[in-house]
Chain A
């Protein structure tokens, strides 16, 4: 029994140490972001000659949203002489290809790419489109996104720094009124971008490039070997290949793009499972290169490892719960002799658990969020749900690694929009989104869901 108690105590200490490290990081980022007087903003730079850009929009069965994203891109205020939109129909079985062809026929800057063979998935689609792109900068948007009119200019601005290899914009769910889950994810996304990404960028550690609202320098992409079509998270994969090779990743908080967040738990479960698997796979592939690279400072390396290992916190937490449960039924364990140990444990429980909520609340404060912030306590349920989904995804991932079997294929996230005919931007609600992306108020957008 003494051995079991010692093991349980060991597991508990491990959990406390790991999660405390993440909690401290959350507080540091949040306080840093909250008090930041002058965040770096590349939009303040003048005299930068805008480069030629190629916008890549991979689509697989996206008939509900294809027209909206293409219309939004056409309405962007980027010089058409320096712009091409590569709409990639990746083996769609619905009207996606037809919609793309209609746009290509009407607008000279839209080029249709139809894929009917080869490997599937976003990485493979990007690989093919990149070979046809003529821009110095490749911009990426998911098909369910609404880029605002100024979006392309905002995302291009950081490339005035020749060391910047990739740039990431801010993702904001527009369907936060659709379900409790999407509202909670709205808060979560706000924390991740408004606080996490912005703090990382300003602290000089690496913000993550996401392949949904972002851009990559074509020469940097070529230099690091192009897209990895095998990866479930090709954006994370590219981020770390860029940084270990000395490129910087920039983040533009005001480049807001609107997405559809999952509205049901089943969809969210698949999404977060894919992220956990892809992310953890990147951890296994990149940690030696990250530790060995001369291009990153120790702080940057540590933070990069924190980012890549973030999904490990879920199984660590479960380990802690199991240990606590065992110790609860062991009377000797209740006789905590050291006041300091007990104080540290309770302190960890309070500060550790509240760290992410401090981040959520601070993001809501900076954004001027409305009543949605009242839902914050419900995020505990989301947290429990995500922990289970991540653990089960990681279990499957490690089982596959041990058995040497093939990884799961790409799962497309379900779209909820009722129809997409390119007219979304002409109704009042959608125009609010676009104004918001241009920097005007979007406070009341929640009340006008499309």
Chain B
């Protein structure tokens, strides 16, 4: 036996997950994944073009492109060639950069309590890289090697992203078609943003060598992918929450 009515509640009871919606999510994910895989050569070329253009725009000389293998299954990609800084060229520059970065991080550590552990982790990465630079000078990382590592990760992100977007933006929203737009938009952004981040990393390597590589790899690699996804997801959730607001009373009976 049920009451005629129970207390209304501010939360909506559930999201309607119909078979059509699940099918739409799977179809979109498959379609985007196949598109990325089939067009990977073109994507690699455009990715390199964006990165190289940004490097040139910021005054960093590039010397053409070298071919790097991403994965046997994905083939090869062009990687812009730039100079990289070496410790023995100017140890003083390394010292100045290291000291100023450590100071900046320490100030951040002191002022932003919530970010303390994050900053400590960045400090560890920075000091570790400085140690490798000074004590293991044979360890070098060329721009093409860095690009290869970068693409090995980012190409996989592009392939996985559609499945991720399908679950976040299509299954988790009341309006599936808006979710489809979000998924396509996030895919496009992910591609361009990857090229921009790569160009920034190559520029930093050009001026400071290995010193910031682990830090950049950590902060601008998969973490950055996670962050833009989170930003888009939070905006999408806010939109979706506003749309479901009017339905809140409907489940009290």
Contacts and interface: CB of A to CB of B under 8 A. Distances in A.
Answer yes or no: do A and B interact.
yes
Interface in A141-175: 150, 154
A346 B117 contact: no
A383 to B, nearest CB: 9
B177 interface: no
Contact of B10 (A376, A380, A436): A436
A35 interface: yes
Interface residues of A, number: 74
B88 interface: no
A346 B9 contact: no
Interface residues of B, number: 70
Contacts of B60: none
Contacts of A354: 164, 168, 226, 229-230, 233
The prevalent SS among residues of A at the interface is helix
Interface stretch (B48-56, B70-78, B90-98, B193-201): B70-78
Given A346-B160, A350-B160, A350-B164, A366 B12 contact: yes
A368 B244 contact: yes
B152 interface: yes
A373 B239 CA distance: 10
Interface string B221-253: 011011101110111011011101100100010
Contacts of A375: 234
Interface in B106-163: 113-118, 120-121, 124-125, 128, 132, 139, 145, 148-149, 152-153, 156-157, 159-161
B251 to A, nearest CB: 9
B163 to A, nearest CB: 8
Nearest to B217: A328
Contact of A346 (B2, B121, B153, B233): B153
Given A350-B160, A380-B226, A374 B238 contact: yes
B15 A265 contact: no
A447 interface: no
A77 to B, nearest CB: 11
Interface stretch (A36-44, A407-415, A419-427): A36-44
Contacts of B115: 381, 384-385
B222 A368 contact: no
B234 A385 contact: no
Contacts of B152: 334, 336, 342
Interface string B1-33: 111001111111111110000000000000000
B7 A369 contact: no
Given A37-B14, A347-B160, A365-B15, A376 B244 contact: no
Interface stretch (A211-219, A233-241, A272-280, A438-446): A438-446
29 contacts: A31-B17, A35-B15, A36-B13, A41-B6, A43-B7, A44-B6, A266-B113, A343-B159, A347-B156, A353-B226, A361-B172, A364-B241, A365-B12, A365-B172, A365-B237, A367-B10, A368-B10, A368-B248, A371-B238, A376-B234, A377-B227, A381-B115, A384-B115, A385-B117, A387-B117, A436-B10, A439-B7, A439-B10, A439-B252
